[in-house]
Structure 1
């Protein structure tokens, strides 16, 4: 008896295997020339903006310091006018005895110019700072009263005729009461200039 050949598997029993296609690894796109140009332009704009900000800050700082210097000089000039008037009683006492007429003209002219300077500085300080203006006004008022009396007495006294008379003691001319008003004026000036400092400098002072 003939043995039949073995049965072949049915098509449904055969599993087809297809080799898998490898998935390519994901890669980042390489930036093109346009992206690089945009990045360079953005960096340049940012650098320019930072430089402009720094330059503006430096300019403002210099301008503020220059303004403080100008005011410092102007306040000092106001004090010089005050000091010139304050010295007039001594100048009158020390006038030349042998040139009475000429000395009257010379000293009167100095006093006239000083009065004009005081008037100018009284107006300027008030416009610049009410606090400084008030302090200067108070200083000048007491100056005119105290030094004015001393000048009147100096004109009535005989002119000096010797070197030893050049030393004028406080018993003859006493202007010490003006010291407190000088201090008040200088304190007002200092406070005004302090307000013009940048905030970080005000914190340290």
Structure 2
């Protein structure tokens, strides 16, 4: 009878372990999906932020209603970015810091681009639309670092690898290559300024 009890107990333990593994795997898949959507929305907010100078440049007019509408849009984008910064910092300090670095670096370029866009008269005809503006951002390195942190956090044991991810990100940040605008972008910038000037 003792062997029968041991077999029953062993089967019960194996069943419980399999159920726990299945539960853990299911929860991980749900968390990964939720985090993936959160990360994608955060990166989308950065891309919306980068588009603001183009939206300002292509405004309908310089009237007060248009300015108020654009100011509201600007405020909404800033609000979404701050929301994502807070959310990402609560979820993972490593991802939150990488996202904050990305926003800080993008913001260095965005301010002058928005100022230039506001100081340029609105587009008034269709022939002015192609190449009406060119606002480059030197943030591809920060985007890659942020995506690296996000990818590592999506791993099943991402929370355990945070110290390693933090060290890797710090190393990448310290080894950031100096910005060199690609030749095709430099030519495009010269063409835009030639057409607008």
Does the pair score TM above 0.5? yes
Once residues 129 and 30 of structure 2 are traced to their aligned partners in structure 1, the CA distance between those partners, rounded to angstroms, is: 42
* 1:184 CA drift (Å): 1.6
Q: Hey, what does 1:178 align to over in structure 2?
A: 139
Q: Give matches, 1:1-205, under 5 Å.
A: 35=1, 42-97=6-61, 100-168=63-131, 172-194=133-155, 196=157
The separation in 1 between residues aligned to 2:145 and 2:116, in whole angstroms, is 28
Structure with greater Cα Rg: 1
Conserved in 2, the CA contact under 8 Å of 1:142 and 1:178? yes
| Cα distance in 1 between the residues matched to 2:82 and 2:54 | 22
Higher helix share: 2
TM-score of the two chains, using structure 1 as the length reference: 0.69
Cα offset for 1:86? 0.8
Q: Distance in 2 between matches of 1:91 and 1:49?
A: 62
RMSD: 2.2
- Equivalent position SS for 1:96: coil
Aligned residue pairs: how many?
159
- Paired residue secondary structure (2:140): helix
Distance 1:164 1:44 in 2: 81
What 5-or-longer segments of structure 1 have no aligned partner?
A: 1-34, 200-205
